[in-house]
């Protein structure tokens, strides 16, 4: 006989992985029911116990409000839980193939404390089928329990937008799914207890997985289209923003803008879908074309800057360029999959000395994970300045503050349109 599910009021949650996704989720649940937040990084647990969140997603006051939340690196502390929510990263490797290593490791850890009647819910972005085909076997092997007989699974894709103070976890509608109808209903009710925007119960885990992976694939393809349009309009001598503003007067025109596509979602998720498609014998055309175009934008930015410097008779070999911003998006410390490094490496190939400043980024993480040394800008030292990320600190400097950093005759490339149109020589 299949194991009985826990009653909603008796659920004790463990959140596995306390990053940008896991911590806000653990905090919301911790305001209402017992939650154990688990992470393999002792430093992360220590800062959270001290009431600090280095991702800046959760304020100290919010951490205090989660009175029923405890943090630990001890796997045994999870044994009293009966619902395990896995929120670990799902990156790609150097060959742009899905890296399920963190997901597999988290599943192995959960398997060691899994008991009969428990539920394991995955929030990490994966390709359709990954939960049941890749994660469940790890759970079964490690626990000795049988799927949908002794334990159950669910999937509820994360929709966290780092740095976004308006769209928070509770105000974004949540997709849910379960491995049996009964498990699905319980999982949906569990999330509905904290999500004020409501939930959408998908008919299967595979449907929920597919829904998540196409959300960012759709955005990636649309941004690729606008990036390609920007390349065309630049050759035609037309301002891309003017074109988009004019086209945007039509009620159903989608308001996408050109730019670099980095981060842990849009620049990664499409590769999960294309990997699965290729495994069943289908070669995606549009999705991969969009990925190639977006991945080439850093090189395009660097080449345009160098051309503008040459036109101003600035000696490129040995020149100094300041790149302002390193994180993958504005007002956020997240460095994952940032494409600013593509600009830096391309400029360095021209034998240009590149300084990088970013008030939001962690200098140690930048050096360790990206090989980029952050520094304070040197006034009057630069032949060119790239406004790469739209941090509020840069916007507050204004044109005069940014111009003071450059030498006479320097070039500004404003990727984020932080300055008035006439204040920058180059824009996307």
In angstroms, the CA 352 to CA 319 distance is: 5
Position 224 confidence tier, pLDDT thresholds 50, 70, 90: very high
Position 166 confidence tier, pLDDT thresholds 50, 70, 90: confident
In angstroms, the CA 133 to CA 126 distance is: 11
The stretch 349-358 carries a mean pLDDT of 97
> What letter does residue 132 receive in the DSSP assignment?
I
Beta strand pairing status for 83-86 and 13-16? parallel
The stretch 324-333 carries a mean pLDDT of 94
The stretch 32-43 carries a mean pLDDT of 96
- On the question of pLDDT at 19 being above 90, the answer is yes
> What is the pLDDT, as a whole number, of residue 384?
97
Contacts of 408 (CB under 8 A, 6+ apart): none
- On the question of pLDDT at 408 being above 90, the answer is yes
> What is the pLDDT, as a whole number, of residue 79?
95
Task: Say what percent of the chain tops pLDDT 70.
Answer: 100
**Residue 343 token pair:** 């600009």
**For the segment 178-202, what is each residue's pLDDT rounded down to a tens digit?**
999 999 999 999 999 999 999 999 9
- On the question of pLDDT at 297 being above 80, the answer is yes
Residue tagged active-site, from 81, 265, 332, 357: 265
> What is the pLDDT, as a whole number, of residue 168?
84
- On the question of pLDDT at 164 being above 80, the answer is no
How large is the angle between the packed helices 286-295 and 269-279, nearest 10 degrees? 140
The stretch 226-243 carries a mean pLDDT of 95
The stretch 71-81 carries a mean pLDDT of 96
- On the question of pLDDT at 165 being above 80, the answer is no
The stretch 71-98 carries a mean pLDDT of 95
> What is the pLDDT, as a whole number, of residue 399?
94
In angstroms, the CA 130 to CA 103 distance is: 10
Q: Are 153 and 122 spatial neighbours (Cβ–Cβ below 8 Å)?
A: yes
Beta partners for residue 220, in sequence order:
none
> What is the pLDDT, as a whole number, of residue 391?
95
Element (H, E) at 414: strand 406-414
> What is the pLDDT, as a whole number, of residue 306?
97
> What is the pLDDT, as a whole number, of residue 264?
79
> What is the pLDDT, as a whole number, of residue 243?
96
- On the question of pLDDT at 158 being above 90, the answer is yes
Q: Is 86 exposed, middle or buried (0-12, 13-18, 19+ CB in 10 A)?
A: buried
Beta strand pairing status for 382-387 and 320-324? parallel
Distance between the two ends of the chain, CA-based, in angstroms?
62
Task: Say what percent of the chain tops pLDDT 90.
Answer: 94
Indicate the average pLDDT of the chain: 95
In angstroms, the CA 229 to CA 231 distance is: 5
In angstroms, the CA 205 to CA 176 distance is: 8
Q: Are 358 and 391 spatial neighbours (Cβ–Cβ below 8 Å)?
A: yes
- On the question of pLDDT at 127 being above 90, the answer is yes
DSSP string, 287-340: HHHHHHHHHTHHHHHHHHHHHHHHHTT---TT-EEEEE--SSSTT----TT-SH
> What letter does residue 417 receive in the DSSP assignment?
-
Position 263 confidence tier, pLDDT thresholds 50, 70, 90: confident
Q: Are 126 and 160 spatial neighbours (Cβ–Cβ below 8 Å)?
A: no
pTM, full prediction? 0.93
> What is the pLDDT, as a whole number, of residue 1?
85
**Residue 287 token pair:** 């999705």
**For the segment 274-285, what is each residue's pLDDT rounded down to a tens digit?**
999 999 999 999
Identify whether 265 is a catalytic site residue: yes
**Residue 260 token pair:** 């670099």
Q: Are 76 and 14 spatial neighbours (Cβ–Cβ below 8 Å)?
A: no
What CA dihedral angle connects 298, 303, 304 and 305, to 10 degrees?
Answer: 90
Element (H, E) at 261: none
- On the question of pLDDT at 267 being above 90, the answer is no
């Amino acid at each position: 006989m299949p194991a009985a599910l826990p009653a909603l009021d008796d659920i004790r949650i463990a959140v596995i992985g306390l990053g940008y996704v896991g911590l806000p989720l653990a905090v919301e649940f911790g305001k209402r029911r017992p939650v154990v937040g688990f992470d393999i990084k002792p430093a992360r647990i220590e800062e959270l116990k001290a009431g600090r969140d280095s991702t800046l997603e959760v304020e100290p006051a919010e951490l205090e409000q989660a009175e029923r939340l405890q943090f630990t690196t001890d796997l045994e502390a999870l044994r009293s839980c009966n619902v395990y929510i896995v929120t670990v990263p799902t990156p790609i490797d150097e060959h742009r193939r899905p890296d399920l290593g963190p997901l597999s490791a988290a599943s192995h850890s959960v398997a060691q404390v899994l008991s009969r009647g428990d539920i394991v819910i995955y929030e990490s972005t994966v390709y359709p089928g990954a939960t049941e085909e890749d994660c469940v076997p790890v759970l079964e092997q490690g626990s000795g329990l049988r799927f949908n007989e002794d334990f159950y699974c669910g999937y509820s894709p994360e929709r966290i937008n780092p740095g976004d103070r308006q769209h928070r976890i509770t105000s974004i509608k949540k997709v849910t799914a379960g491995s049996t109808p009964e498990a699905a209903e319980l999982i949906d009710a569990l999330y509905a207890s904290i999500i004020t925007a409501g939930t959408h119960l998908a008919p299967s885990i595979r449907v929920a997985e597919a829904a998540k992976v196409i959300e960012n694939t759709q955005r990636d393809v649309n941004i690729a289209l606008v990036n390609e349009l920007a390349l065309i309009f630049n050759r035609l001598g037309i301002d891309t923003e003017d074109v988009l503003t004019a086209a945007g007067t039509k009620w159903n025109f989608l308001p996408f803008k050109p730019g670099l596509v980095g981060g842990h979602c849009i620049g990664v998720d499409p590769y999960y879908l294309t990997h699965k498609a290729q495994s069943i014998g289908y070669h995606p055309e549009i999705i991969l074309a969009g990925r190639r175009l977006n991945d080439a934008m850093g090189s395009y930015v660097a080449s345009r800057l160098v051309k503008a410097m040459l036109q101003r008779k600035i000696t490129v070999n040995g020149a100094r360029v300041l790149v302002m911003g390193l994180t993958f998006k504005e007002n956020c410390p997240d460095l994952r999959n940032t494409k600013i490094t593509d600009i830096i490496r391309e400029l360095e190939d021209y034998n240009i000395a590149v300084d990088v400043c970013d008030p939001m980024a962690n200098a140690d993480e930048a050096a360790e994970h990206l090989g980029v040394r952050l520094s304070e800008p040197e006034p009057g030292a630069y032949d060119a300045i790239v406004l790469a990320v739209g941090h509020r600190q840069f916007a507050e400097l204004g044109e005069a503050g940014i111009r003071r950093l450059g030498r006479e005759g320097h070039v500004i490339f404003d990727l984020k349109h932080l300055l008035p149109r006439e204040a920058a020589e180059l824009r996307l």
